[in-house]
């Protein structure tokens, strides 16, 4: 049982598994940070009077801020996985 668990951890934290986990961690962190920043500015715009505040509130209700933060997180995940793959391939040669 312990041997199987050790092999599972080696698979997860070695090679591609390590790159994926690092990319996911960076993606989740950047998504959360960008969501907080976007929500801050949307709330700031909504609190101001006028049509711009109403449009920002509609976008917030529609979940556009969450969609933008998910896209930013996905881009960071892809870039970090690609960067670690590139650095590992150059180091191996």
Measured CA to CA, the distance from residue 45 to residue 75 in angstroms comes to: 26
Measured CA to CA, the distance from residue 16 to residue 30 in angstroms comes to: 21
Residue-level pLDDT at 87: 54
Residue bearing tokens 């180091």: 91
Domain positions in the chain are 2-92
pTM, full prediction: 0.59
Q: Where does the pLDDT of residue 90 fall: very low under 50, low under 70, confident under 90, or very high at 90 and above?
A: low
SS3 per residue for 35-70: HHHHHHHHHHHHHCCCHHHHHHHHHHHCCHHHHHHH
The average pLDDT across 25-49 equals 81
pLDDT, tens digit, 9 for 90 and up, residues 40-67: 888 888 787 678 888 888 888 888 888 8
């Amino acid at each position: 049982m312990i041997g199987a668990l050790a092999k599972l951890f080696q698979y997860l934290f070695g090679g591609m598994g390590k790159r994926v986990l690092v990319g996911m961690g960076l993606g989740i962190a950047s998504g959360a940070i960008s969501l907080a920043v976007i929500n801050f500015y949307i709330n700031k715009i909504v609190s101001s009077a006028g049509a711009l505040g109403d449009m920002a509130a509609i976008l917030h209700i529609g979940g556009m801020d969450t969609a933008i933060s998910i896209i930013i997180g996905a881009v960071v995940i892809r870039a970090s996985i690609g960067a670690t793959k590139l650095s590992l391939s150059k180091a191996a040669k």
